[in-house]
Structure formats: C-alpha cells, structure tokens
Structure 1
C-alpha cells in the first residue's frame, strides 16, 4: 500500500453503523451517536435484522451519511453490523444499500462481536465469553475467544415479539430460551465450564425488558448480566473495532 493511498484513507471519516430492525444508529469518530427510526410510518425497512426494502433503507441512511462527509465532499468508510446467520444475499443487500447511501467502502462484521466489545468484554481473552444480543427483530448468541467468534446461534425473534407476550403467552420467551439452551448444550464441556464461570452478557433492547434476564438465568442456571448501556453496545463496539478493520483491509489490498 503506497503512502498516497494511506493519506487518502486518513482523510475519510470512519463511521460505525448499527442497522437495526427498529432503530438505525451511527457513530462517526468520537462524536455523538445519531439515531433514527428504521421505519417510515408503517413501512418497514428491515425485518428480522436484515433489509427487506433496500430503496427505503438508502433513503433513511443517506442524510445520516451525508452528515459525516468531510467538507461535505469526502465519502466515509463504513463498518456495518449484521446478524451472525445473515446469508450471502442479505449481506450483499446490506453492502449495496450502504454504498448507495453514500459510503466510499463498506465492511461487515457480526453483530454479537460488536456487542461484546461495546459491552466491555475482554474478547481477546483465551477464556470463553458468551454474549446474547437481543435486538428488535433478532436474537444472536455467540461464544467469543481470542478475538474470534467460535460458535453462534440466531433466531429471527427479538424485542418486538418478546413484548407481545400478553397476546401469545411465553411463546417468544420460550423460543429465545430454547435457542440459548441449545447453544450452551452444544458447547464442549471445557468451554461450557468457562461460560458458566464467566456468565452471560445480555445486550440489545431485550436486556431492558423487565424480568427477561432473570427468566433466562432461571432457564440456563447461568448468571445473566445486562450490559450498562445495552442498546448502544453494537454501535459503540463497531466504533472501537473500525480502525483495526480498516487498516487490516487496506494492507491486504
């Protein structure tokens, strides 16, 4: 990589993007987190944590990314987050939407990794860390060790369904608890012991649902601790990771 290219990238604003089912959050540099709804009236841009209306998402993202252009001209570099079970088409749709909204380049990382970093977990540890990120439309479990995701499990159920328990008693809670129980059951005995000792970190809007952390703790027998600012873990984690991702990709090009 030549110095001219490196200097050009140093001019670009680096933007972390949490493109959620209910809320879009972006963070540029050390600035404040900007938020807006992922919906226009009753029209949904995302469902289950992935884009279902690409044109609408571009429309929502463009004014946010325009604010991050240096001198109103230089397009930003964006690190976006996606559910761990995202497929190739969903990932491509996300990348293209962000580019169409005004990004110079887009990198995509798994949401639970960003959530773990944003929650303050030591993801570089050789000791297993478990994070459960419950967003508006998806629940994502991940085991992280030595800065890598070692195992994941996700279900396209989130806060929206969990808050409708009055209409469908316990249905969504039993699905989320079942996902987590199955995920933990599939871990090796050694890793399982580490998970039990470290406990489970709960992030996303689900961490704010009254009684849910205690419910998951009772079902799994493992301590469940909500993050301090659960709704901002993904975007803040992405902000922390972004400089490393950009530099690694530049050197590998």
Structure 2
C-alpha cells in the first residue's frame, strides 16, 4: 500500500491525522458528545469538548477508545469519518488510502474491528501499523538493519516499550499507564494531602508547571485554587515538585519495570546495541520532567526524547505505508 494518503493515530485521549505532503494537520480530543435523550452524536473532537463544557447536563461524554482498543464501534466509525473528511475535505474526488496505528498486542478480532471501522468511515484501502514501529519511524530511527533499537512510547492511556530490528518488533510490552494516569494520581494526592479537589485540566497544568519524577537540586512551587472537601469553598494551596514526585512514584515505578522487563527479554547482541545507541522516548507522556533522568539512573542506558514526541506516532503512521510497503 505504498503512497498512503492519511496516517491516523487513534489515541485514548487524542486523534492526530497526518496527510502526505502536509504533515500533521489535525490534533483533537478523541471524544464525542451524545445527546442523552436519543443517543445521537451532537459533536466530535474539539467541538465536542467545547459543547460538553457548556451543556454538561443534556449531553453524555463518550471516549470510544480505551487503551487503543475500540470500546464503542459506532462512535469510533463516525469519529474516523469526521476526522478524515476534516483532513482531506468533503469534496475530495476519491476515497483516501489510510494507515491506522494500533497497539502491538491487539487480538485478530480487535484488529479486524479497527480495519472495518476504517472502511466504513470511507477509506479506499486500510493498512495498520503497530505503535512501536510508528513511533520509531516518526522519531527518525532507522531499524531496517540487523541491530537493536529501543523506543518507549508514552501516550495518554498507555505505555509501550519495544526493541526493533530489521523492520520488525523483536520484543514488546505494553502497560495501561499514560499521561492521564499521572493527572489522576495528582488529583488523588491533592485530595488526600491538602483536603481539596481539582479538575483534570488543573491537575495537568500543575503537572506541566512543577511536576517531576526525578529529584532536582531546587524545588519548584506553585499556588492553585481548589475546592475544600469539607466546606465546599475555594481554597488556595501551595504544591511543590516534591509533592508531584510522591504522587507519581507508583506510576513511574511501573514504567521503569516494563523497560527493565523488555531489556531482560532482549537477545544479548541486540541489548548491547541498545546500550550503545540508547533509548528513545516518544508520546506526550514523555514530556513529564525528569523522565529521561529517571530511566537513565535506573537502567544505566542513555535516554533521549525525540524531536516531536507529541506527533511522532502520527508522523510514523503516515510514513509507514511508503517505508514498509504496507
């Protein structure tokens, strides 16, 4: 399927669309707003997010993808159709060839569901590429030769660590931990330690401003306003990067464990290559401060984040059709 027109990264939290010759043209939330009265879709993506924030009582929030698996086929199909049309235009003279990124551990039934959704959404041809391969291509890693390369992709809902060689996956392990889980962990920590509640968007802002997973010489502080769980009134709280590190400890431990497990299962010759070449991080979750340093300290291997971690999987999905002749 050389010459893929569109590459689609169907993430738990976001959908990114890559168009050949144009790059990533679309990044929107993977959410739909359904009318509670008749279950009809009223909006998709960014429009749905805005509508849900203004009319929460009459609408139902639907996330059709859970950890890369289709949880709601009907909504996924309509979401794909919407994003394809938005990316290439409703008046396109031909149906596009598309490539969809999927988790490496999907069953045949789950793969067929993704493929079928692509065809039902209006594609002429549908190819699929496994997430570690898409991430590696998007990060600019050449894994066509018989040498070991390691990529760790941390998305909104999942983490995948893999060893690649000769255009394929040698070892791969997935984990249902992603950027959203760090937000949720921070929300729980703030409630238990400070007695206030905050929303997901506030938690994400705190994570990006002062959050870290590795001890720094200087602690960063941030003030935010939460809702006191006893009085229900607004309350100003000061949180430190050390607080965030404590909140994230269990999650980062699980990510480190998966990386260790993949390295332990890697053939010695390829593991030696990884020790020399290092580990490459992709995905929005890789932007959490200190993750490179933490993984380096725990593995003894150099760790770098790719140039465009947010778009790497989408870029790799779009280019996979040409590079791998899918």
TM-score of the superposed pair, with normalisation by structure 1: 0.86
CA deviation after TM superposition for structure 1 residue 192, in Å: 1.5
**Match of 1:175?**
254
Are the counterparts in 1 of residues 14 and 27 from structure 2 also a CA contact under 8 Å? yes
* 1:1-43 Cα deviation digits (max 9, x unpaired): xxxxxxxx99x97111111111111112212421221012532
Native 8 Å contact 1:159 1:205 kept in 2:
yes
Q: 2:317 aligns with which of 235, 238, 241?
A: 238
- What value does the CA root-mean-square deviation take over the aligned residues? 2.1
Match of 1:18 in 2: 9
Q: Residues of 2 paired with 1:183 and 1:85: CA distance?
A: 14
Secondary structure at the counterpart of residue 101 of structure 2: strand
**Pairing 1:31–2:110 present:** no
Which residue does 1:53 correspond to in 2?
A: 72
- Counterpart of 2:291 in structure 1 is 212
- How many Å apart are 1:243 and its aligned residue? 2.6
Question: Is the CA contact (8 Å cut-off) linking 2:4 and 2:99 kept in structure 1?
Answer: no
- Deviation (angstroms), 1:73: 3.7
Question: Which structure has the greater CA radius of gyration?
Answer: 2
Matched-pair contact (CA < 8 Å) for 2:163–2:262: no
CA separation of 1:13 and 1:88: change in aligned 2, threshold 3 A: closer
- The alignment of Structure 1 onto Structure 2 pairs a total of residues equal to 238
Distance 1:165 1:224, change over 3 A: farther
Pairwise CA distance, 1:205: 0.9
SS at match of 1:163: helix
Native 8 Å contact 2:129 2:320 kept in 1: no
Q: CA deviation at 1:201?
A: 0.2
Aligned to 1:66: 85
User: Of the candidates 199, 211, 224, which is equivalent to residue 278 of structure 2?
Assistant: 199
- The whole-number CA distance in structure 2 between the counterparts of 1:188 and 1:219 is 20
Aligned-partner SS, 2:95: coil
CA displacement, residues 18-75 of structure 1 (integer Å, 9 cap, x when unaligned): 1111111111221242122101253211111222111111222212212426853411
After superposition, the C-alpha distances for 1:88-112 in whole angstroms (9 at most, x for unaligned) are: 2221221121111111121111111
Q: Kindly report structure 1 stretches of 4+ aligned residues shifted beyond 4 Å.
A: none
Q: Contact (CA 8 Å) 1:207, 1:227: kept in 2 or not?
A: no
Post-superposition CA distance 1:175-201 (Å, at most 9, x none) = 111111111111222221111111100
* CA distance in structure 2 between the aligned counterparts of 1:237 and 1:20, rounded to whole angstroms: 14
Secondary structure class of the residue paired with 1:108:
strand
CA distance in structure 2 between the partners assigned to 1:178 and 1:244 by the alignment: 32
After superposition, the C-alpha distances for 1:149-179 in whole angstroms (9 at most, x for unaligned) are: 1111111221111333433632221111111
Instruction: Give the TM-score normalised by the residue count of structure 2.
Output: 0.68
Say if 1:164 and 1:215 are closer, same or farther in 2 by CA, change over 3 A: farther
Identify if the C-alpha distance between structure 1 residues 92 and 102 changes in structure 2 by more than 3 Å, giving closer, same or farther: same
Q: Is the 8 A contact 2:104 2:131 kept in 1?
A: yes
Identify the match of residue 300 of structure 2 among 215, 221, 240.
221
Greater Cα shift, 226-235 or 41-50: 41-50
Instruction: Note the residue ranges of structure 1 that are not aligned, 5 or more in a row.
Output: 1-8
Could you say which residue in structure 2 is the equivalent of 1:6?
A: none
